[in-house]
Structures are given as structure tokens and as C-alpha cells.
Amino acid sequence: MITRRWHPAVATALVTGLVLLAVSGRYGYHRDELYFLAAGHHPAFGYPDQPPLVPLLARLFDTGSLVVLRLPSDLMAATVVLLAGLMAERFGARRSGQWFASAATALCGPVLGIGHLLSTATSELLGWVLITYLALRVLQGGDRRLWLLVGLVGGLTFQANTLVGFLLVALAVVRPRDPGPRVAGAIALVIGSPYLLWQAQHDWPQLKVARDIAAGASTSSVPRALFLVFVVLQIGPWLLPVWWTGLRRLLRDQTLRCFAFAFLGLAVVFVLLGGKPYYLGGLVPLLLAAGAQPIVDAPVLIGALPLLPVSDVGPVIAVNPDAGNTIGWPSFADQVSRRASNVVITSNYGEAGALQRYTALHVYSGHNGYGLWEVPPGSTPALLVGICPTFCATSRLVGKIRMPVDNDENGVTLSTCAPLAPWAQPWPQVRHIG
């Protein structure tokens, strides 16, 4: 009797998914998740700062349960781990090497950190890894029609995160004589065109977001000089020998060195454009699979997943600021509710999303998509959260937010405001993108 053995990466993928599922309800919503939930109730072909796919997922999985909301990301992260093992197999690794590649990917900072949250970056991560897996099969002599599937995956990923365009362009540049990447890019462009048209009709607001990120406005932005340092830190220094070995192996392989050139080229591009270190995360599983000699170290779990008590999480936030953005939203909402009578205007979408999730207040914000959706009625007095009351006839500072950790909301001001004119008049000053 012949029995089929499971691929060794399957077990690692299952464990990864179960671990992420087990901790997905700890701490609380990330500010981006709160924004996605709100954006999902304003369906459109695009938003000032993102394509439509993730808000649609947020609406589909919004049952009131944080665990359910994050289920798509859990599944995506588990799939990335499985694909790493499959790529290692294509590199000739034995079963032990396939398991090591999947285990290293499972313990990779971006996979755990991004896989823990519903995020545009999670879809981007899966899209990049699936594209590299399909491209690897083609370059190793597989069916060239897989380039069509690369284009389909690229287009769907583009509807969640536009960064996949950099990968498709990079593949076309490093293989100039191969029409396959260009065909894939064209297919992806067609699928992504509704979002591009939305951006064009709204004067390309995402470019403003990109400029703000390059200027360091985002929590996870880093100085250009430290970009590569943070790439190593976020992946995990313990994994440096693994993916460095994989990179060197690809450089020595005439057929596959295009992947190494794409990784190095995109590193330069993201440094020049002021991108975030995790932007390269989608190519790391390929490098780990090529190296197939992972070094596993438990501390990555503490840095990427919500395992520590909130009282001890300060050092983790210093390395992984996104951890801080998942803590304290109910407390934030309670502090605002005790000082607000009815209308609240917030400085960012995370605050607005939290108040909509945890209170019955009438919440408005000028940040990104919120700025397009609603304007406060008439000249109704409002409580301003983190906003300088320059357009108020009278205002009074009534308190500051005190969060359980030192995150972006700690110390935010709360001020009452009676506007000088109906809110529709100063609203263009309140609106902002970034």
C-alpha cells in the first residue's frame, strides 16, 4: 500500500495559523483596522490612501469579533509559510530543509507582525511570495503560461496594495529579453486600472501619502541611513545568515540571479524613495528558501506577537511601534466619552474608528477617507481630539489622553470648540491626507 506523506511545510503552516489565531484577540484593534472597518461602509473603487480590497474584506469579516476580522490575515500568513517550503523544495532541499525554510519564514518578523493584523501589507506579502513562487517555476523550466497567472495575482494584489507594482517592474527590468514579465505587468495594470482611474479623478492623493511616508510621517518610517539596519532587525538578526546565504546562492545561479538583482535593486529604490523596511519583506521567504539553513530564535515571537503583558510591552514598542497602536483603544474611547456631549472631531482615522467602534458619539475626522465622507452639521459645538482650535470662536482645553502605553495617542489634547462659522466652511482646513 502506497501512502502519501504530507509536505513538511504543511505542519509549520498550520501551527503558524493556529498561533496567530490564538493571539489575534489580544490587546485590541489596530488604528488601521478601525479605519478599514469604517471605509468598508463607504464602498468605492479607491480611497485617498489605499485600493478597495482590504476595506471590503473588513466589511465582509466584521462580525464584532477581532478574531474573525483577522482571520484572512492569519490564512495569508500561513499560506506564505507553506509557499516558502514549496520554494525550498524547488531549490532541491530535502524534507528537513523544506521544514527549516518554512520554520524560518514562520519566525520572520514581517510574517508574524503583518500576519497578526488585517492590513494592506498582509495581502501585499502573500501576493509577492506567490508571484515569486510562480516566477521560480517558470524560470526552472515550467509552463510559461504561468506568467498569465502572475499577472492575475499581481492585479488582485494591486487592489490591496500598490507596492506590488514595484516587484512586477523589477522582474521586467531584470529580464529585459523575456516578454513574460511584461505580459504579467500589463494584465496586472488592466486589473488595477479602476483604482488608478479613481486616483486620477481625485488628483492622485496617494502620492501625497507616499511623500509624507518618505518624510517620516508614518509611525513605522525610518531614516534612509538606517533602512538596511531595520531590514535586518525586522526580519530578525538571527535569520541574517539564512537569507544572506540564499541571496549569495541566487547571485551564483545564472538562471535565477534575476531574483537577487530584483531584491538588491528594490532595496536601493526604497531607500531613495524613503520607503519602509518591511516593503522588502515579500522577497524574504524566497531568500530563506534558497538558503534553506534557518536559525530559529524565540525572541522574534516577543517582538512581533502580543505575548507580553501590557505593563511590560514598552521595549517591544520601541522596536515594533505597531504593537503600541493595538493597545488602549477602549480606554481612549472612555476618556473621550467622559468629556464629549455629542459631536467629536478627531485628528486621525484611528481615533475616529475607535470612537465609532466603542461609543455612540457622532464622530468626524478630516483624515484621509473620513475627510470625504461627512462634515459636522451646522455650527454644532464639538470636542476636538488632537486638533489645534484655530477655527473656534471659543475653545477650552479640557484634558489630555492617558494611555496604558506610550503610543501615538498618549498625551493627545481634548478641547471644546464653538466654531466661528458652520463646519462646512473650515472643513477644507481640517481635511488632510497622510
Please report the pLDDT score of residue 319 as a whole number: 63
Q: Is residue 207 packed enough to be buried (19+ CB in 10 Å), middle (13-18) or exposed (0-12)? A: exposed
Q: Tens digits of per-residue pLDDT, 387-414? A: 999 999 999 999 999 999 888 899 999 9
Compute the distance between CA of residue 146 and CA of residue 151 in angstroms, rounded to an integer.
9
Both 151 and 210 in one domain: the answer is yes
The yes-or-no verdict on residue 1 having pLDDT over 60 is no
- 360 lies in a domain? yes
pLDDT of 5 strictly over 80? no
Query: Is 153 in the same domain as 244?
Result: yes
Kindly report, residue by residue over 60-92, the tens digit of the pLDDT. Answer: 999 999 999 999 999 999 999 999 999 999 998
Quick check: is 189 in a domain?
Answer: yes
Same domain, 411 and 288: no
Q: What is the pLDDT of residue 228?
A: 87
Q: Tell me: do 337 and 251 sit in the same domain.
A: no
Q: What is the pLDDT of residue 304?
A: 63
Domain membership flag for residue 313: no
Q: Residue 159's domain spans which residues?
A: 8-303
Residue 319 placed within a domain: no
pLDDT at 301: 54
Whether residues 271 and 360 share a domain: the answer is no
More confident of the two residues 114 and 52: 52
What integer pLDDT is reported at residue 226 of this predicted model? 84
pLDDT above 50: residue 2:
no
Task: For residues 152 and 250, state if they share a domain.
Answer: yes
Q: What angle do CA 396, 399, 400 make, to 5 degrees?
A: 130
Q: Are residues 336 and 420 in the same domain?
A: yes
CA–CA dist 55, 267 (Å, integer):
29
pLDDT, average across residues 360-383: 95
317 in any annotated domain: no
Q: 367 has which bridge partners? A: 432
Same-domain check for residues 250 and 163: yes
Residue 94 lies in a domain: yes
**Domain count across the chain:** 2
Q: How high is the mean pLDDT of the chain?
A: 90
The answer to whether residues 63 and 190 belong to one domain is yes
pLDDT value at residue 297:
33
Question: 194 in a domain, yes or no?
Answer: yes
Burial bucket for residue 1 (CB in 10 Å: 0-12, 13-18, 19+): exposed
Residue 300 confidence (pLDDT): 53
pLDDT at residue 245 in the model: 87
Label residue 315 by pLDDT band (50, 70, 90): low
Q: What is the pLDDT of residues 133-163, one digit of tens each?
A: 999 999 999 899 999 999 999 999 999 999 9
Query: Is there a contact between 365 and 348 (Cβ–Cβ < 8 Å)?
Result: yes
Would you state the cell numbers that stand for residue 223, as one nine-digit string? 531614516
Residues 347 and 299 in one domain: no
Q: What is the pLDDT of residue 227?
A: 84
**Whether residue 382 sits in one domain with residue 275:** no
Residue 430: predicted pLDDT: 92
pLDDT of 196 over the 70 cut: yes
Please check whether residues 267 and 361 belong to one and the same domain. no
Residue 316 lies in a domain: no
